[in-house]
Structure 1
Amino acid sequence: MERSPGSGGRWERSSPPAPPELTPDVEELQSRVQETLELLSPQDLRNFRLLLKTVDEEPRVSPVKLELEGRKKAGLARLVAQNYCEPAASRVLVKVLRQLRRADLLRLWQGAADRGGIPRKILKRSYDCVDGELDRYDLSGSRKAFLMCVEKSRPGAHRDIELMKEWLGQCQFEHTACIDPNKMELLRKITLFRDGLNEIKGDVGCCLITLMSHGENGFIKMEDGEKVSLQDIFEMFNNKNCPALQEKPKIFIIQACRGERRDSGVETDDEPMESDDVSEKRRLPTFSDYFIIYPTQADHVALRHPRTGSVMIEAMSEVFKQYGNKWHIADFFTRVNNRVVHTEFHLHEEPIKVSLVMESTLTKSVYF
């Protein structure tokens, strides 16, 4: 016979079992995973759950658990932390973030996977503090880069190549190298590169061109001294000639002199820095979505050290190592410029100063 609370027998309400206590290491892992999830867009978060079902790391998270416990970020983080032990959890995050193309988060978890530990506290990127996603470019497509460098008679250029290849890899770019070309070889290779973009069209997310050589205002010089017009190269990738890049960012990093003038700077009272639609068819401007960075002002020399390489390239590498992909590209190069401007340089024992110059027709923010 059934008993009721008032029938004299003892009645107890059953309760779900208490969740297992978490060790400090699992708690810290869960915290880092949740920080990562907080930085994902709603679309990325949906894709994260889908990818988690297929990641080739045992034991896999069951679809039932994902449905029941992984709807919210906190539950999803707890599920990952409790299901995988380190370093398996870091490997899982690396595999998923690589497919999401979140290079800023990937490098932290990659470092943790390599060390067999848990990544440090994750910094928010500037757009992660802003609601909405309409003001940043969608870089989920392939990222293509063209890397040209004149190495002959440019001591330190080999270091520039090493640093740029490292940076491009960290930002998830596939790059095409072109080292010590003559004028015709450069134009042929960069035309093939542009035509390749047009062939894959819808799959391109971003294009980056790096040109490192001697130069003068408006031109770069090949290893045989022949000049190539920068404007001609820019035009190759405009909205008419490269429809694959319409409304997609086109980034140009130019490491070359722009003239012979030298800026020795001015003295200040500050302490010295430490050294060493009107038609039926929507229209676009011919030139849009460009970002061009120069290592110096017009008509001025650029600086390159025989051992450490070019000043701008070295500063890019240092800022990226310190902050990763935290900022929109213009803010990133503003940081780089800050470092360059406040560093003392000498040329033939005379003080010399440089300042980077940015030109932009971007319509959204660029986060790698």
Structure 2
Amino acid sequence: MEALRARVVSTLDSMSQPELKEFKFYLRNSGEEPRITMQDLDRAPTTSALADLLVKRYVVSGTPRVLVRVFQRMRRNDLVAEWETASRMNLKRPYENDGPGLERYNMEKPRKAFVMCVKTGRPGAEQDRNIIRNWLEECKFECTSCIDPDEKELMEKLTEFRDGIIGIKDDVSCCLVTLMAHGGKGFIKTVLDERVNLSDIFEMFNNENCPALQEKPKIFVIQACRGGRRDGGVVQADDEPMEVDDSQKKRLPTFSDYYIIYPTQEDHVALRHPKDGSVMIQAIDEVFRQHGKKLHIADFFTQVNNRVVHTDFYMNKNPIKVVLVMESTLTRAVYF
């Protein structure tokens, strides 16, 4: 990423002040999502700050493409040619530039997904379910559905899903569980308004209870409120001795290789449009359409978060902001 940033700075420094003004105008009106606004540009007065804004907003894979579009509108064919070449080179990821390559999980074997969705009393939920199903199918997951379950049915189906993975053991690469429902702090609600603790669900798939998933990614996408607080946004203006186990037998932490995505911060509401569906899941669809399967899952959901954070939402005419929360104990990169 630093190599790309330096290249962007060099390009911007070569431009005159009138050209930079024109560049910012076309950048703001490029049509690329997530949008760069006038306020964003006001907070990036130098070429260095502008380069930071571009690379953070569009990441390594998207920045060359955005620059090509802007330079085409500026009729700077020399820079169009330069950045088209950069785009084709598919510049390396940040950890590939800055040190040893991050090892990847082996994803060649079957991928298993569980999709639970409470549709009753949740307008837009059907749209969410369709988007998630399409995303998972494009990523070659074999999906198990669970629609409008009560607590007994949900836990039985999750247990059956988990036990099925244990049964095939070496023939599974990854497990992904999506839970879409009403919820609160640490729990989701069934169609009968029963509470199910998320920790109980996570525990079902840990290294002790599901040994078939040891050292394999276990991904959880949660679309549910985590409380009742609303974030209106802001105007920008250990010392204990540690013992080391030298046993020759390999040991794993109980909860390693997890990746959990929440649609909002703790104690806060999650947003869902009655027609278009949930904010996070809409953003998942948009990022997947733009980047496909090129991004490591952490980068993928960082881009999803970028879109969500830089979009303004309203409830009862009051502004509300949303930010995703990602928790990870992954030890390798996950590419679908």
TM-score normalised to the size of structure 1? 0.63
Distance 2:286 2:327 in 1: 22
**2:196 matched residue in structure 1:** 228
Relative distance call for 1:128 and 1:352 in structure 2 (3 A) is: closer
Superposition deviation, residue 141 in structure 1: 1.1
Relative distance call for 1:133 and 1:245 in structure 2 (3 A) is: farther
Q: Secondary structure at the match of 1:147?
A: strand
**1:319 matched residue in structure 2:** 287
The one-character-per-residue Cα deviations of 1:319-357 (angstroms, maximum 9, x if unpaired) are 110111221111111111010000000011111001000
Q: 1:258 aligns with which of 191, 208, 226?
A: 226
Relative distance call for 1:211 and 1:221 in structure 2 (3 A) is: same
**1:292 matched residue in structure 2:** 260
**2:27 matched residue in structure 1:** none
**1:208 matched residue in structure 2:** 176
Q: 1:140 aligns with which of 94, 108, 123?
A: 108
Distance 2:91 2:125 in 1: 34
Amino acid at match of 2:251: R
Q: 1:246 aligns with which of 202, 207, 214?
A: 214
The one-character-per-residue Cα deviations of 1:217-247 (angstroms, maximum 9, x if unpaired) are 1000001100000000000000000000000
The one-character-per-residue Cα deviations of 1:234-277 (angstroms, maximum 9, x if unpaired) are 000000000000000000000000000000111236xxxxxxx6
**1:172 matched residue in structure 2:** 140
Aligned residues: 242
Superposition deviation, residue 132 in structure 1: 7.5
Residue 130 of structure 2 corresponds to residue 126 of structure 1? no
Q: 2:163 aligns with which of 195, 219, 223?
A: 195
Distance 2:169 2:253 in 1: 19
Amino acid at match of 1:325: K
Distance 1:124 1:213 in 2: 39
Runs (4+) off by over 4 Å: 120-125, 127-134
Residue 276 of structure 2 corresponds to residue 308 of structure 1? yes
Identity between Structure 1 and Structure 2 (%): 62
Unaligned runs of 5+ in 1: 1-119, 270-276
Q: 1:158 aligns with which of 101, 121, 126?
A: 126
The one-character-per-residue Cα deviations of 1:27-70 (angstroms, maximum 9, x if unpaired) are xxxxxxxxxxxxxxxxxxxxxxxxxxxxxxxxxxxxxxxxxxxx
Amino acid at match of 2:287: V
Q: 1:356 aligns with which of 320, 324, 330?
A: 324
Q: 1:217 aligns with which of 185, 199, 202?
A: 185
Unaligned runs of 5+ in 2: 1-86, 238-244
Q: Is the 8 A contact 2:95 2:101 kept in 1?
A: no
Q: Secondary structure at the match of 2:283?
A: helix
Amino acid at match of 1:286: T
Question: What's the C-alpha RMSD, in Å, of the aligned pairs?
Answer: 1.9
Q: Is the 8 A contact 1:125 1:326 kept in 2?
A: no
Distance 2:179 2:160 in 1: 16
Amino acid at match of 2:279: V
Residue 317 of structure 2 corresponds to residue 333 of structure 1? no
Q: Is the 8 A contact 2:118 2:125 kept in 1?
A: yes
Task: Report which stretch shifted further, 192-201 or 317-326.
Answer: 317-326
